[in-house]
Amino acid sequence: MTAPTEGRAIGAPRPRIEGPLKVTGAARYSADNAPPDALHATLVGAPVCQGRIVDVDASAALAVEGVVRILTWHDLPTFGPVPPWQAAVLNLPMQSDRIQHEGEPVAIVLATDIQAAEQARTMVTVRCAPTPPVLPGQGRRNLITASEEVDESGLVEGERGAPFRIGDVDAALASSAVRVSETWIQPSRHHNFIETSGTVARWDGDLLTVWDSAQASFIVPNVIAAALQLDPGNIRVIAPHVGGGFGGKGWVWPHQILAAAAARIVDRPVKLHLGRADQYTSTGFQPLLDQFLELGATEDGRLTALRHQVSNITSMTEVYVEAATEVKDLYACPAIDVSQSVEPVTVNLPTPMRTTNEGCGLWPLESAMNELAHRLGVDPIEIRLRNHADREPTTGRAWSTKHLREAYEEGARLFGWYSRPRGGRSEGNWRIGTGMASSTMGQIRFPGNATVVLQRDGDVVVRVDIQDIGTGLQTLLAQVAAEELGTSVEAVRVEWGDSDLPSTGPMYAGSGTVANTSAVALACRDIRKQLGEHSDTDDVLDALRQTDLPQITGDGRYELPNRVPMDMYGGDSGYAIRSFGAVFAEVAVDPELGIMRMRRMVGVYDCGRVMNARTARSQMIGSLVWAWGKSALERSELDPTTARWMSKNLSSVHIPVNADISDLITIAFIDEPDPYASVTGARAMGEIGATGADAAIAEAVFDAIGVRFRELPITPKRILDALAEMGR
């Protein structure tokens, strides 16, 4: 018995099956859970950026009605070592009098209601012996020389930040007819998801139940168990819905461990829901990046050399590498030299943010390609076509599939690229410019597990421990099951968000669709294989009814080559696996006010098979909105005296709103399956739209007013200052 060959469900623009739960308020997020007798917890953060705790005076706070207990590091157990790349922070807080960054938890207030807990934490007095901060630009940059960040459990292995060289870059640059050599800056930014992180912990004897806001619930038991020296099998994690993550909830953070530890100490459930200001210091952020990039090219625009040196800030105690040099394989180039360094400063640990690596690295690379095109008088698309990498340039491997040329062609057609007025145009007080860039996202893959149950009445149940992070993955799984079994999507019910279900990979880096649609497809094929032993009909229901079975269960295990626990960019598949795209932007600039407005954007993407046209388009629109915020609005600033994050709330943090975003956003897909990336032919999708767009926007600003910006965001002040410097 074989699966149907003609698709009937995959690709259709289906509405998200979890949508009604959200719009009716039935979807339960971590903070919606309140077990009986639960205590509300708030964190008291360190008032200085580093130093020692001299004393914690909680006497006034304990007098607040409803306050039950206030824990300090004297009350907490000694935590065991936690696994790297599953735990975000290895040097856990509240283990000594040491302060590692401003806002680090130094006390936990437990009260019968949140109002008492919030009031009491303002009344806890923390006296410290501070030491001066180390700010960005003051620390020593440490070169990353090898990939030493390997998880003991084997979760993540790779070459993040390791130096890479082919050819003689110095010689190639010296003989190049034209060179672009500049530095590009990207500021620190915080994720600012709608649902701040929260954890509810309840002990039942030796069994721990955690309601959590997490993008990778399968690692939560491992980390908490390691810290509290438990059996991970005694920990159940319930995490069906996550109100935004963007990488910020991809690892396990200290507050998740602290909630479980506090609940154990007081022998009552504990609910710890971070406030907005807590989020700035109790979890991570995208770090400040300083990127020097140099291109050499022949007179006809063919690249001869690429040098890319990246530095990002990290904490004083731990290393986080923002591996922006991973864009080194986008273009054909005979000489490449890339390196990464980190600069320890007195801040909390950074963490991945939507399109880590490529999203950061394409800002200078695509900007430099646009500058190169301008210097040579060549169209930006043409310069990219001349340097198109027919094979992966650093290894010589064949691409699994690649349709970047088609993306350029279709994007140019939809945008009207070749008929645009070059050098900008005027509309009243506005100057209008256009720009474009390439997009790319390397495929990160994890194994996946799923169970599918076909019932005699025709209903289908898909079971897998994934989270709903707003991407519509649950709907995709229902579509895959419907197509594989030849049933309707309406007949499929998906159960998710509970560690009692089959464990699978994380919901980040575009890996969720690859692993889980593959696992569901394999589970459905397992059902067909079993039924094939009883019947030769292709109709699974007819085949099931020819047996005396009330239902039949299929198990699907999506494995990676050599059964590794994860791979990047193709791993041992023999192919280089990436998604590609092209993005085009039209931007309006008011030279008198410095105001910048999105007029329209077009994005065309090659992401393998499109599993759901509606959710795919939604993801790309969200990515372009995200990119506009990065380009024009967002930055997180450190106070130069205290090393505190400034503006730890949304009242003064600039993020895109509806008025900032044009409704003229056009999205299209090449929609060609990639048989080497996944069982279903799908590749990473949700993040690629945020790559390259900042360079396209900056080029559009240059086209409009003749100013090149190499530091983000492009704010009104920067525009006005630049025009004034030019005497305009």
Render pLDDT for 47-81 as a digit per residue (tens, 0 to 9). 999 999 999 999 999 999 999 999 999 999 999 99
Per-residue pLDDT, averaged over 590-608, amounts to: 97
Render pLDDT for 312-326 as a digit per residue (tens, 0 to 9). 999 999 999 999 999
pLDDT score recorded for residue 222: 98
377 by Cβ neighbours in 10 Å (0-12 / 13-18 / 19+) ranks as exposed
- Stretch(es) of the chain classified as CATH 3.30.365.10: 19-27+447-559, 363-444+569-728
pLDDT score recorded for residue 7: 54
Contact 560, 550 (CB under 8 A): no
Q: pLDDT confidence of 655, banded at 50, 70, 90?
A: confident
pLDDT score recorded for residue 8: 81
pLDDT of 147 strictly over 70: no
Computed over every residue of the chain, the mean pLDDT equals 95
The 10 Å Cβ neighbour count of residue 23 is: 9
Render pLDDT for 261-290 as a digit per residue (tens, 0 to 9). 999 999 999 999 999 999 999 999 999 999
CA–CA–CA angle 646, 652, 658 (5° rounding)? 140
665-669 and 595-606: which strand pairing? parallel
pLDDT score recorded for residue 139: 87
> What is the chain's Cα-based Rg?
26
CA–CA–CA angle 241, 243, 245 (5° rounding)? 105
What DSSP line would sit under 331-393, residue for residue?
Answer: B--S-EEEEEEEEE-SSPPP---SSTTHHHHHHHHHHHHHHHHHHHT--HHHHHHHTB-SB-T
130: enclosing H helix or E strand: strand 125-130
Q: Which CATH class is domain 363-444+569-728?
A: alpha beta
DSSP designation for 46: P
Contact 452, 553 (CB under 8 A): yes
Q: How far is CA 18 from CA 27, 477, 478, in A?
A: 8, 12, 11
Predicted TM-score of the model (pTM):
0.96
Render pLDDT for 117-136 as a digit per residue (tens, 0 to 9). 999 999 999 999 999 999 99
Residue in 230, 214, 229, 258 with CA at minimum distance from that of residue 93? 258
pLDDT score recorded for residue 146: 64
pLDDT score recorded for residue 5: 39
Render pLDDT for 656-711 as a digit per residue (tens, 0 to 9). 988 899 999 999 999 999 999 999 999 988 899 999 999 999 999 999 999 999 99
Considering the four listed CATH numbers 3.30.1490.20, 3.90.550.10, 3.10.20.30, 3.90.1170.50, the one that applies to the domain covering 30-133+202-282 is 3.90.1170.50
The CATH architecture to which 19-27+447-559 belongs is: 2-Layer Sandwich (3.30)
Per-residue pLDDT, averaged over 517-545, amounts to: 96
Render pLDDT for 389-406 as a digit per residue (tens, 0 to 9). 999 999 999 999 999 999
Structural tokens at position 197: 């992180």
- Stretch(es) of the chain classified as CATH 3.90.1170.50: 30-133+202-282
pLDDT score recorded for residue 145: 86
Per-residue pLDDT, averaged over 150-174, amounts to: 70
Own/partner long-range contacts of 418-422 (Cβ < 8 Å, ≥24 apart)? 418/379, 422/703
Cα 2 to Cα 8: distance, rounded to the nearest angstrom: 16
Cα 180 to Cα 378: distance, rounded to the nearest angstrom: 15
Cα 538 to Cα 487: distance, rounded to the nearest angstrom: 12
Beta bridge partners of 669: 605
Render pLDDT for 331-389 as a digit per residue (tens, 0 to 9). 999 999 999 999 999 999 999 999 889 999 999 999 999 999 999 999 999 999 999 99
pLDDT score recorded for residue 2: 41
What DSSP line would sit under 434-492, residue for residue?
Answer: EEEEEEEEE-EE--EEEEEEEETTS-EEEE----B-SS-HHHHHHHHHHHHHT--GGGE
Cα 571 to Cα 561: distance, rounded to the nearest angstrom: 8
